[in-house]
Structure 1
Amino acid sequence: MRVLAALLIVFAPAAFGQDDGMPVGSSPDGVYFSAVDVAPELVGGLAGLQERLVYPETAREEGVEGLVVVEFVILEDGSLSGIDVLDSPDDRLTEAAVEAARASRFRAGTVGGERVPVRFALPVLFRLSGDVRSGE
């Protein structure tokens, strides 16, 4: 059985229309930004995230596919805070996407050369290729 777990990563501002580099919201650790001079960067890129993502075996066997959207704040040290799932077709896919996000590190976004916390959305697409039931 061939399995494809596709990843899409999108910088998603917390508040659309805000582009002045001012804090626009708050997280458990304080304020966060929606617009920054330099966007956060995933350490290891998409290839590294792909390695951390595990397609749940029972979901594969049942042919479960879909898009999980995980949102969080990337803190100044590159760690994550306030992880929230905005959309998911299945709890098993949710767990896999959240675990991959938690295992990831980021380079913080900056405003005026200073690292700042930034709201970020991570869409993770789980897609099977071939006929799951026949093993092709």
Structure 2
Amino acid sequence: MLRVTGSDVQTVFEDRIALALTFDQGWIYFSEQPAGGSFMERVVTRVRLDGTGEERIVGGDELIGVKNFTVQNGVVYYVNLYDMGLYKRNIEDESVATLVTNKQKKSIYTTTNGLYVLSYEGDWYFIDKDGKIPFSKPARSVQ
């Protein structure tokens, strides 16, 4: 870890390749391919900013391959490579992941009000944090 000023350099984890990285509530979240795993085996792991408390939060025993993910206020949202559906899971209560939409999604972007999701067709959709806004109309279309 490195402060914006360039001071206090600290190694948080070594010998790993983070495919994607985000921060939320004092944690670093990263996706990775476990050692010896196939392309489809991608998991999300978290570690505290000081390098302690590492734990896997998505993947492992389940049939999940995380394409991309984001974390917002203790909830992880991810696209599963196996069905390209968008899922969400509350991290702290270790709840089972729930399907937000089975429409195939390419990317997820977090905002303060919810998520913007990009479809493979190039359409942007908005969904609130609870998954209550339907994906019936794109927020804007990318041509």
Task: State TM-score, norm by structure 1.
Answer: 0.24
- Greater percentage in strand: 2
- Greater percentage in helix: 1
Task: State TM-score, norm by structure 2.
Answer: 0.24
